[in-house]
Amino acid sequence: MTTPTVAAVVVSYHPDAGALAALLAALQAAPLHAVIVVDNASPQPPVVAGGMQLIRLDRNLGVGAAQNVGIRAALQGGAAQVLLLDQDSLPQPGMVAALQAALQAAAAAGLRPAAAGPLIVDEQGHSDGFVRFRRGRYEALLPAAGEAWIDCDLLIASGTLIPAAALRAVGEMDEGLFIDKVDTEWCLRAAAAGWQLLGVPAARLHHRLGQRQLRLWFFGWRRLALHAPFRYYYMWRNGLLLRRRAHATAAWKRADARQLRSLLLYFGLLAPGRWARLRMMGRGLADGWRGHTGALDR
């Protein structure tokens, strides 16, 4: 059987030059048909290797819109599968091949796989596994030995391999969400249309979640990813916006409500810089209630 052609789509915005160079070097060693870097109007254009395509946008359109620009270019170039990546991710050797093998095996088993995603590992080698919406929370599932894939409810966009057929059937990313929960919305939409999401333990991706890790005590020590204040605006606003979508399940709504409460407690009340984050959460709540989409008007 012929291996499907894969185009990688990397979204960049003020990238760390070293991290982006490491990512692009890893992609050069992977079995890829094309590498497309979509830059969201960074002051300095990112440096890409020969043979890679750089698309520079004239303004910051957000993650969803940049992904769509890259996806369209990938499909127009004949890619059968599209690999989405963030600028601060680093695929481990064999990741793409493992994702492709899982998609092929799932299709052979009669499933309709919308996407396959890797096990996300942070800089300390820690992983929370894969995600399902259970018991009113985002439940982390660690893979058992020998599992080819795990049925998931959510895949983080970075590292996700999506067949062209699924992109055409499910549709593009929601550009109005701008940044947070873009992947969540697409996964909910795919599941509502009868497609499956696969977490692939044999595929590994180093990925940094948040600006830094915060160790916080609240009836026990907790390790949390700390983001810039503006990100909490999008988390709250987009959580409220998604609740109105027909494909937002009751299980996801319960899980997301719990997550928003946790954001309020840990980052709005307990963490350093709490007042700036609390103000952003409040603005996100107000704009989500009003149905505002697009970029935050600062």
Buried b vs exposed e over 111-144: b needs ≥16 C-beta within 10 Å?
eebbbbbbbbbbeeeebbbbbbbeeebbeebebe
Q: Which of 28-42, 119-133, 192-206, 278-292 has the lowest mean pLDDT?
A: 119-133
Fold assignment, 6-207: Spore Coat Polysaccharide Biosynthesis Protein SpsA; Chain A (3.90.550)
Residue 185 pLDDT grade (very low, low, confident, very high; cuts 50, 70, 90): very high
- One-letter amino acid for residue 217 of the chain: W
Say if CB 152 and CB 198 are below 8 A apart: yes
Given a cut of 60, whether residue 222 has pLDDT beyond it is no
Q: Is the pTM of this model over 0.75?
A: yes
Helices (H), the chain: 17-28, 63-76, 95-108, 164-170, 182-192, 229-242, 250-265, 274-290
3-state class of 158 per DSSP?
coil
Percent of the chain at pLDDT above 90?
A: 80
Tokens for 77, please give them: 């170039």
pLDDT attached to residue 221:
44
What pLDDT is stored for residue 223 in this prediction?
Answer: 59
Domain ranges, ordered by start, for the chain: 6-207, 212-290
pLDDT at 176 exceeding the cut of 70: yes
- Segment 123-141 mean pLDDT: 89
Q: What is the pLDDT of residues 236-278, one digit of tens each?
A: 999 999 999 999 999 999 999 999 998 898 777 777 788 999 9
Residue 251 and residue 23: Cα distance in Å, rounded?
35
Instruction: Show the tokens assigned to 115.
Output: 């996407």
pLDDT exceeds cutoff 80 at 11: yes
182 in Cβ contact with 63 (< 8 Å)? yes
Position 286 scores a pLDDT of 97
Amino acid type, 157: A
**Sequence-ordered list of residues with C-beta below 8 angstroms from that of 146, at least 6 positions apart, any chain:** none
Burial class (CB in 10 A: 0-12, 13-18, 19+), 63: buried
Please check the confidence at residue 186 and state whether its pLDDT lies above 90: yes
Q: Is the pLDDT of residue 214 over 70?
A: no
**How many helical (H) and strand (E) elements, i.e. helices and strands, does the chain have?**
8, 13
Encode pLDDT of 24-43 as tens digits: 999 999 989 999 999 999 99
User: Do residues 98 and 174 make contact, with C-beta atoms less than 8 angstroms apart?
Assistant: no
Strand partners, 163: 81
